[in-house]
Structure 1
Amino acid sequence: MTPATIRSAGGEFMQNEKLVVEEGAIFKLKEIAQRLRLDFIVRECEEVEGRLGSGSFNLVFLGQYKRGKSSLINALIGEQILPTGVTPVTAIISIIKYGENRVCTVRKQDGSSETIDLENIYLFATQEHNPDNVKNVDYLEIRLPSPLLKRGLFLVDTPGISSVFESNTKTTKEFLQSVDAVVVVIGVDPPISYDELEVVKEVKGIVREPVFVINKVDKESRESVETVKRFTLDILKKEFGIERPAIFCISAKEGIMGKVSYDWAEFLGKIDEMVSNKSLIIEDSYKNTTQRISRRLLTEIDRLIQALSEPLENTKLKVERLSALREESEIFIRELGYRFQSEQDRISQLIDLEQKKFFDEHRAEIDGEFEKLFASFLNNSNESNEYYYKALHPLAEKYVGLWMEKIKGKVDMYYREFSERYIREFMEIAHRVDEITQDNSFSNLFEGLKGEMYPRSEFYFHHFMRYTSTSPFMVIAGVFIPRKRRLMMMKKELKDYMDWLIYANCSRYIGDINQRIIESRRRIEADFKDRIQFLLERMNSAIEYASLMKSEGEARIKGELENLRYIRSSVESILRGTNVQS
């Protein structure tokens, strides 16, 4: 194969020995996959050759639904290309590349394609017009004459994870294997979610440096934005050991209007730095892709060897048993989900009672501290209204913290007990898959569920903007009534605001835990269904392959087994080569 020649960001050609070796490895793996008729691996190799071999890389935007990923990409290219809206909009992958002509190609899952005007992207990209991807779109390829894209950058928009539309999360998770560089788009409320942390965990070992964006900061107070930024820094350091993550607070809405605010200029500088250093990104992607495809090939080769080595009827019986188990598991998972939700509701009610009991016991204490604080306001009555509201935050935060400290032990006990029951029942099905396939590979995929089902709450105290509205009377009073008297008239409003701050944050603590458990449960169940379906497809493919070989006699089987073992050693050699280069 001709050595790879990669263009650098500045347009100069460069030779990189590692890239030559690893692109050559991808070519060899593709040849092996073609020999074994593993079309899904062939397609992946071709996609990698086309992207990385041309000196381009995917910059993938990931995050929970409604984080503003599409708006952020629109802001980067300087025009409204991708559909945006109030409800979860993006349903499929959109890849924006450089092209002299402005055009969109709809790539279908069956290999066909059609060209559409940019104005009609929404007909294929959105959940409203393509619900659960009924139009069988693989992805949209959008071409624009953008100077940024001309430098070898592919901007990739993905459906939001944790969406009510399960297919959206599935589409994004499946695309993670094509990530070369990533921007994780998060928000202020809620901050980084459990599913977003899981995505970071998956891509951290793939990409050189994840970039994080806190979007829509124009809708929040500076105080809340800074709190979330510190919170995100702490989480990334604690969970992943990322000491100095690249985090930018931005407003995509203001960015698309050409307004440079918050960290927008710094974020653009980071994108420019990534493009300038794309040779390093491409090098990492070649290595990671080679390792991933090698491992997948080894799994498929082992499956073929097993199918050839045992009686064909045994393999067919396994498929029949696995098909029956899949149908049974769908009913089981649905019923388990009902019991799970019922238990979660029961625990939430118990915690609500504990919360009411705690604050009933501390009501006189809270009211007393409020009166002292209000008295200090009267001695300092020349401040703005906003000053008095903000001064209530520490008091509210104090009692939320005391309640969390008191309730944490019970919360841990409640949720851990029923999560462990869920996991035990779930793993019974996984082990039954192992019994059918006669190995532990399936259940091993779901090891560690205990930690995932009951994640720690990543709660932080939210300094909500004042939700109370000032009446027209109070506005007029502010002009004509002395400040101290006006403050006395505000007393009830201030007290209500403090009580609401305490209630809202206590509810957010429990809501945070509930949401993280629901997200993890949905992800585990969807992952289980996908994996068992894929396993069935691959076993059926192995049966077809074994039937063909066995129809040609024992000599053919013996020769094919020798070929498979030789091919396996070749793939292992390629895999070892990437580990040495690491």
Structure 2
Amino acid sequence: MADKAESLIHDLDKVAKARQEFAGYLQEIAGTLTEAEQIGETASGKLGLETTIEDLELVSRNLGEGVFRLLVLGDMKRGKSTFLNALIGENVLPTDVNPCTAVLTVLSYGQDKQVTVHFKDGRAPELLDFDSFKQRYTIPPEVAKTLQEQGISAFPDVAYAEVQYPLTLLEKGVQIIDSPGLNDTEQRNQLTLGYINNCHAILFVLSATQPYTLGEQRYLENYIKDRGLSVFFLINHWDEIQNRLIDPNDYAALQEAEERVRQVFRTNLTPYCQVEGEDRYDDRVFEISSLNALRQRLKHESLDGTDFSEFITALNHFLTKERAISELRQAKLMARQAYRTVHEACDRRIPLLSESVQDLRQKIRSVQPEFDQLVTIRDQFKDEIRIVGERQASTISNSFRTYLPELASSFEVDFSRYQPELKFFDFLQKGKRQEFEASLRLAFEKYLLDKIAAWSLTAQQQLDASFLDLAKSATQYGESYTQVTDRITEKLTGQKVIPNANLSAEDTSPRWAKWAVGLYALTTGDVGTIAMAGTGVFNWKQILLNFSGAVLLTSMLYAVTGVFLGPVGMALAGLSLGSFSAEMARRKVVETMKAELIKLLPQIAQEQSFQVYQAVKECFDTYQQEVVKRMNKDIQSRKVELDELVRQKEDHEINQQVEERRLNLLDNTVLTQLHEVEDAYDYLIGQPMPLMSAA
């Protein structure tokens, strides 16, 4: 049996080739349609296939350039770099010190080893060789820990580093985002969060020797749970359990120790391993030793029989079966949609070839009421999106305006888990006071962002429900729209529209409706039902995330801390040395902070609620604009199709028989190309590896 690491590479290679193959199929169809439109300019006129060609080329390009993005999360000292080296099969990232603690790093394929450092201030990126990058942006763990405690970023001007490396795994279409430690700084954490919704899977590295810390619990609870993310948990250092026993050879003691650690993780991680109500713990959580796996890979030894091998098998299944198949299914749907558009256009055009210009003009006038109905359907859906958007913007902004002031009422209890240790006598020393204030600021950042994350999850659920309703409406409007376009065809051709046997029920919706429905699937992660939504035009989750991370962090956090840290410091500095114990001083800190929050939060909530309103409304405005644009294109293309025929008939006499043969040939050619796509898809999902079942 082949080593699982080699199998992963082999299967990813098959997926990469399949992507290229299907990208080629779509490009071939696009080329056929482009050529047909060019010939049509001197024949009976264009068929209005411009949008179809654009969509085919876009999805083809996305497939050809597609990668699987993996985001690696984990606290410091969890062995993330060793794990990544074991995964990619080479000792690329240093493991004695961790540069990723300070700089978010994107690993992608490149023929030459080089690093591009991108900056926040927009200055030109810095191009470095690999060794220079390691030297300049690597800091020892003890320095990283000190900076973390002070809430300071080691490289505050750096946004991220893009590392290109000639690795086989990366060459086969995998991109790895290596994040800083979870407790680096909240600003850096927000940068990491910006990648979450744009990644296919999250690899969360924990440690068996430090089972499930409060920081890890906080991160999972606030930023991972119930957000529709695919997460694999890697419990690293599992071999250290045995090494820490008094007698490492005591098998019974080892089993008992392992079971204690295992139970801690099972209890705490199970809530994050639920997929559509199903417990996926056993294929989402893995007990590994990254160091042993790395040693074996560097020696070219098999990983079979190890827990690391089981993880690679699960990752392989997820990427090549669950994710890749949905991308190829999208290509098949695109091909079907293209054939439907061409087939209907040819069916409309052929009966009209024998019509005189006068009769054509009369028929075009006769279907104007139907075109007016299409415009009415567009306007109705447009208004519904606007109304839903305004209602949700008001509801969510009001919830924020109510939610924020209420934080003060539970602040004493809630903040206790974040508050740094208070050494009262140290605080009276100037240097220690600054250190404490830095720790207090960092603690408040964590508290505030966690609270905003909890609120944003509720907002996300509300938006999910709204877009689900709009997706259902898009389907209903699409059915009405199709009924009208069928009537247009019947009035123009004098023939009743008969459903095409080559098309399934899912292909009967107009393009714009499939895009509108597929968009909801895209934003909720249900990639198996994506139709026209692969454009990446719209991602409301990212908009909301950017808002809560950027606007609130800058506009609110510093406004609050800048005000109340002064009163807190004055309150403590003014105390007599004998009048307060450390515990009483801690209470004084919290009471002072609460008093300031009671005064500040209502005002900030009022000011920032408008930003919330605008952010939510922007989501729906973007959705509305894209849907309306696509509906307009569809309506216009149908009109252009008729006007083109009239124009050509006015310019010259059309050879009816030749043109009819051309259009029938076009129809048959695209149908043949569709069958090629469907046959290739059916073949792939019928293979035992890697694509064996449809999503």
**What TM-score comes out, normalization by structure 2 length?**
0.40
> Bigger relative contact order, structure 1 or 2, given CA contacts below 8 A and separation 6+?
2
TM-score, scaled relative to structure 1: 0.46
